[in-house]
Every structure is written in structure tokens, then in C-alpha cells.
Amino acid sequence: MNWISNYVRPKINSLFSRREVPENLWTKCPECGTMLFHRELADNLNVCTSCDHHMAISPRDRFVRLFDGGIFTEVAVPDPLPDPLGFRDQKKYPERLKAAQKATGEKEAMLVAEGEIGRTPIVAACQDFSFMAGSMGMYVGNAIIAAATRAVELKRPLVLFSAAGGARMQEGILSLMQMPRTTVAVQMLKEARLPYVVVLTHPTTGGVTASYAMLGDVQIAEPNALICFAGPRVIEQTIRETLPEGFQRAEYLLDHGMLDRVTHRKKLREDLIIVLRMLMHLPPPVAADLPAPKPVYVEPAPVDAAATPEAAPAETPKQA
Ligand SMILES: [Zn+2]
């Protein structure tokens, strides 16, 4: 019996309940090449601990860290027509979509949610660069319209986090049509006099930069984010000249008047709360919550069987 419980059972348990280890425990920073442990990286909001490079963060992770207590409600986005052009390159478009869905665990390249940040109610939309390079297709267009509609309905500001490689080639002209569509959605917010704040993350390029990502009332960018319409490589090849250092990066664009500020990811939530509360004419944010008052435990007075009847008549008011 001892031999079974002490030796055989643990052996069997260890064989069957071997914990699934994630395949990539280490991530290499694309800027400085440092190997970063996955947990350390996640704790640091996917910002490199050695060179401060802001790596991509999934919309869900971003929302969990953004909203108060990590609580948010997803806003439903209407589904567009699947594969309207019957597009095929090396792979069929629906196959590419399915592969991206499997890899990211998300339905499409944008997540819309409502919730509170610093007790300021907002609607937020976040683009997912890991989903087919965050490309803007019909779904993304629908998502922005759904976000703007919801914001107008609830009279809340809209915060949008952009990250995109541009328009979705597989949807051809239909993806380009999302540029005017999303512009109209932003106009809806302006007509309702609601703030629209854009946070540009690395990289925001192509048709996204040419539409909703540049229409914010306040334009914030994460440090060193590439923000452009045509990338530096394409420009360099076209004009045959070397471009200046830091060209089309967030700090360069801030210096040249394209942005309002560049904010570190760790300070972003704080900045957003201040900006949004100012724009919504709300009182300044609560800096910190005081702990809830502790219920004071009062020792009940010892009940003296003899004393109680005596005390009772003394309390009753004397009647004249
Ligand atoms: Zn680094």
C-alpha cells in the first residue's frame, strides 16, 4: 500500500498532469535584442525592460490594464459579408482569416468595449496588429461605426488605439471604402460634441493614418511609434535619398506639429483620465481611494441579570 501511494501514484500523476508550458517563454526585443521572460514582459505592459521599446499588446490585455478593475463590456459589432470578392492569393482569404482567428483567439482585428477609467465612463476601440497586421477591412469599419454609435448613445467620449499595416488587400476597394465610412463615424461624434481621442501605437500606417487615426481631438502616441502613410523604405526608394534619423517616428512627428503628446504606456491611463475629464467638464480625477472604513467592533456590555431590571425603570421618563 505504501509503495503504491508513495511511489506509483505520484509517478502516474506526474505523467498525466504535466502542466502545459507555453512555447515561447522568452521574447526577443526587436529593438535591442534582449531576451525577456514572458511574465516579466507582461507585468511591464509589453514594454522592453532594458530599452523601453513598446511592443504590440493585444486589445484584450490593453483593456484589462486600462479599465477600472479590469472590468469592461464588449460592444457587439455587426458581421460583414464574408469574402465578398472570393479573393485568393497563395491561400484563400477565409483560410487566412481562420488562421488569424486561431492564432489570436479573437474574431477580427478590432475590439470595442465600454467601461470606466478613473470613474470616467468611456467607449474604447483597439486595433489588433497581430490579427492580419491589424488591417482595416469591413469588420474594422463596422467596429468603428459601432463604437461611435455607442458613444453617442451613451454620451461618452471615444478612445481609439490604432495599430495597422494599412487597408486589407483581400477586400480590395471595399477596404478602401472604410476610410470615408469611418470618417463619417468620427463626424457623428463631433456633431454630438463628444471628444474623440486617438492613441497611435507602433505601427500605424497606410489607409488607417489617412482616415480615423488622424482625426482625433487629441492625438497621443506611444514612444517611438512609426506613424506614416507610406513607410520610410518606400519613400527612400522613391526619392533616392537617405531620410533623417527618427523620421516618421512619434517624437519626430511631435516636433513637427502632427501630434499633441507622446506618452509612455505606463502613464497613458493617467493621461487619458485627465484629458477626458477635462474635455467632458468633469471634476478632477480622484487621486486615490481611501480604504473603506473598518467596521468598529464594540464589545457588548456584560449582561447582568440583576442589574437590567433596575436600570430599566431609571431610563423611563418620570411623569408628573
Ligand atoms: Zn529592448
**Residue 68: per-residue pLDDT:** 93
**Residue 35: per-residue pLDDT:** 93
Tens digits of per-residue pLDDT, 201-253? 999 999 999 999 999 999 999 999 999 999 888 999 999 999 998 999 999 99
Q: How far is the CA of 301 from the centre of ligand 1 (A)?
A: 65
Q: How far is the CA of 26 from the centre of ligand 1 (A)?
A: 13
Q: How far is the CA of 54 from the centre of ligand 1 (A)?
A: 8
Listed residues: CB within 5 A of ion ligand 1: 29, 31-32, 48, 50-51, 53
The CATH number corresponding to 56-279 among 3.90.226.10, 3.40.50.2020, 1.10.10.10, 3.40.50.360 equals 3.90.226.10
**Residue 5: per-residue pLDDT:** 66
Question: How large is the average pLDDT for residues 254-272?
Answer: 96
Surface-to-core class of residue 56, CB atoms within 10 Å of its CB (0-12 exposed, 13-18 middle, 19+ buried): middle
**Residue 3: per-residue pLDDT:** 67
Q: Count other C-beta atoms under 10 Å from residue 277's C-beta.
A: 18
Question: How large is the average pLDDT for residues 49-54?
Answer: 94
- Can you give the pTM of this predicted structure? 0.82
Beta-carbon contacts of residue 193 (< 8 Å; ≥ 6 apart): none
pLDDT category, 59, cuts 50, 70, 90?
very high
Q: How far is the CA of 47 from the centre of ligand 1 (A)?
A: 8
288 grid coordinates: 486615490
Average the pLDDT over each of 54-63, 67-76, 244-253, 283-292 and give the range with the smallest value.
283-292
Answer yes or no: are the C-beta atoms of 137 and 109 closer than 8 Å. yes
Q: How far is the CA of 33 from the centre of ligand 1 (A)?
A: 6
β-strands 72-74, 110-117 pairing: antiparallel
Q: How far is the CA of 132 from the centre of ligand 1 (A)?
A: 24
Domain boundaries, the chain: 24-55, 56-279
Q: How far is the CA of 36 from the centre of ligand 1 (A)?
A: 9
